[in-house]
Structure 1
Amino acid sequence: MKLRRFAVSIVLFAAAAISAAPAAEAGQTSLRAADPSVLRVGSVYVGVQSVGDGIVVRQAASPDGLASAPAREIWSAEGSDVWAPEIVVDGGRFYVYFAAGAGNLRRMYVISSVSADRGYTTNPIQLALPDGKWAIDGTLFTFNGQRWFVWSGWAGDTNGEQNLYIARMSTPTTPTGPRYIISQPRESWERVVGDPYVNEAPEVIKDPNGQLHVVYSANGSWSDQYCLADLRLRAGGDPAFVWDWYKSNGCLFGSNRATMMAGWDPTLHANGPGHHSFVLLNGDIATSPPAGPTFPLVYHAVPKGTPYSWTNRYWYTGTFCWWGSTTYSRANVPSANTNTGWGLKFFE
């Protein structure tokens, strides 16, 4: 759960965010920070980051260059305690979604601008997400002509479990209809570290067959068991119907062999990789990469050999590619037990 993540003081976090890293290993940048959200606009890479009670934007000519790029503040409010901002583009306008609020009152908000690094609205809009429960890590995407919002949240008013939910959006700021659960942390490999058990940080991409994927982080972010796993929507499936989603049978990017899906290897240099960002043109899943080459990835992790803690997380750059003929299996469900399609491979 991310409440513990921010138990450190805002002052300590802000200072750590600009401190220099030790000698980099395999994609480790010099930026000590978490929860990267990065997209490409033309030839410029844009990343947003929370710093205490505000949000900053960085721009650079490469994902690696973001770490040393100047940080321009685009929004702040005293005591807001911002978590995990996500930047997207819709209709030529930039939207930054973020979670804020104390304790059980944490909710999703959004600001927007016509420019990536300035001119954002000063009064955030609170998203009226269905049921009005605790919510974090939300992001907007469009699939088959329909806007959707996916986030991590609670079923009720307590933090016994963080699930992934999805809801339709009529505009980038207006949810419509109910929320639908699409994943719960119920597999043994995503329940190694709990209190609570988590599915969080969903990031959306479309595979070469046009099928939708939600790649998310599992296990507690306060441990090196943090990892990435995949949800794949069956061909022709309904994003709002939970049994149309198939979950990978283990972590696809993680640092512990015991929780990895068969055929996937653990990391060599980065501990607990998680909360990633697919670096897509305008952040648009319609620009998702084809099969074959590798494409940029940004994620956070802790260098191996370093004590695992939130304050020791850095932004890392890596790559990913599509991996064909990947079967995800399940049991005791009211629909097909297996689904074969594209999976993903991640590289440090």
Structure 2
Amino acid sequence: MNSVSLLLRLKVLLFVVAVASCGKGSGGGDGNNPSPPATNTFTNPLLSSGPDPWIIKSGSNYYYTHTLGNRVALWKTSKVSDLKNANPQTVWSAPANGANSKNVWAPELHFLENKWYVYYTAGSGANNTQRTFVLENASSDPLSGTWTDKGQIGDAAADYFAIDGTVLNYNNKNYFIWSGWASATDNNQRIYIARMSNPWTLETARSLISSPQYAWEMNGAPPAVNEGPEVLKNAAGKVFLIYSASGCWTDDYCLGMLTLKDGGDPLNASDWTKNTTPVFTKNTNGGAFGPGHNSFFKSVDGTEDWILYHANPQSGLQCGDSRSPRIQKFTWNADGTPAFGTPVNINMPITKPSGE
């Protein structure tokens, strides 16, 4: 064999080896094509169902929950946009009977006084039995340890329908905020606040800080609805209360906003100012009907503010499990107020939160 033929054969052999190597994955090769490169986008909704979504960041992880009806479950993830790949873990199940045995709604997870607390709504069956309750866990990770039922939280002198409890920390004091009735027979939903003596006990009587008063708060009335209060603070520490208005059974469920004056007393209604127009409304062309019952979180690297909310993908779906959780980044106006924009279209690629 001459040297030219030998050189040609060597070149052919090297080419075949190279082709065979390129046909295998970098992990040692089962012959499958390599995975496509990671994308920096995601689409809403995060889950197919998730009414009343709530999220909180602790360390490098986010904990998420939503209404499940008969229990409280938590999802743990390091990337909110990847929530669908997290496995929910039930941390509490409703008893068979009793005051908190039915209609478990709107759980929220909070870290107060070095312990975890879940605030949730439940009742004994009829809608007028709905009240707010508290669970406590001393573990550093809410998915471990033991959850203890601390019972009902509320104003004993005004023991009426009470839902959607949340906590405001202001000037080193904690305040409980919820949606409730004025009496046993007045079923318009208003927003109340009381100072807390500990995470499961109120120190003061309730104070009324918001009642439905504008037309955009009264769609579906009666009853007229203010519910789902959520605390938002800007970089300067200014306090906003973002709440859901109108009936969840309408496509016009939306978000309103109260602003606490600088140095104000949260228990004093006159220290809160209500926006005369909603701050977040439906997007009928984008599959976002009745957007509301939100919460907030920072991106992984802390540079971006995001809103988490539920909405229906179609008109007329009311208050059922078709409400799905969505997220989108928001910004701030020059006066320090939040600018939420319009609900982003479902299935439209969105850049992931910074750091993911």
Q: Which TM-score tier does this pair reach, normalised by the shorter chain? A: 0.7 to 0.9
Relative to structure 1, the CA distance from residue 210 to residue 70 in structure 2 (aligned partners, 3 Å threshold; closer, same or farther) is same
> Once the 2 structures are TM-superposed, how far is the Cα of residue 309 of structure 1 from its aligned partner?
5.1
Instruction: Find out whether 1:225 has 2:220 as its counterpart.
Output: no
Name the counterpart of 2:69: 52
TM (norm. structure 1) is 0.77
Structure having the higher strand fraction is 1
5+ residue gaps, structure 1: 1-23, 257-265, 282-288, 326-340
Q: Over the residues paired in the alignment, what is the CA RMSD in angstroms?
A: 2.4
TM, length-normalised to structure 2: 0.76
- 1:51–1:160 CA distance, 2 compared to 1 (3 A): closer
**2: CA distance between counterparts of 1:159 and 1:316?**
33
Match of 2:90 among 50, 70, 73: 73
Change over 3 Å in CA distance of 1:170–1:122 after alignment to 2: closer
Indicate if the aligned counterparts of 1:50 and 1:84 stay in contact, CA closer than 8 A: yes
Is the 1:25–1:269 Cα contact (8 Å) retained in structure 2?
A: no
Give distance in 1, aligned partners of 2:224 and 2:285: 22
Q: How does 1:251-330 map to 2 (within 5 A)?
A: 251-255=278-282, 268-279=286-297, 294-304=304-314, 307-308=317-318, 310-325=320-335
Distance (whole Å) between structure 2 residues aligned to residue 54 and residue 311 of structure 1:
15
Deviation at 1:121, TM superposition (A): 2.5
Q: Distance in 2 between matches of 1:323 and 1:63?
A: 25
Between 127-136 and 69-78, the greater mean CA deviation after superposition = 127-136
Residue type of the alignment partner of 2:105? W
How far is the alpha carbon of 1:26 from its aligned partner? 5.0
Alignment-mate amino acid for residue 275 of structure 1: H
User: Quick one: percent identity of the two aligned structures?
Assistant: 34
1:19 alignment partner in structure 2? none
Cα pair distance change 1:81/1:38, threshold 3 Å: same
Query: Displaced runs of 4+ in structure 1, greater than 6 A?
Result: none
1:137 offset after TM fit, Å?
0.2
Deviation at 1:25, TM superposition (A): 9.3
Aligned-partner Cα distance in 1 for 2:118–2:182: 24
Q: Which runs of 5+ in 2 are unaligned?
A: 1-40, 345-356
Distance of 1:307 and 1:100 partners within structure 2: 23
- Number of residue equivalences: 292
Deviation at 1:252, TM superposition (A): 0.9
Q: Could you tell me which amino acid in structure 1 is paired with residue 191 of structure 2?
A: L
User: What's 1:111 paired with?
Assistant: 135
From 230, 235, 257, the equivalent of 2:262 is 235
**C-alpha distance in 2 between matches for 1:183 and 1:267:** 31
Determine if the alignment matches structure 1 residue 173 to structure 2 residue 200: yes
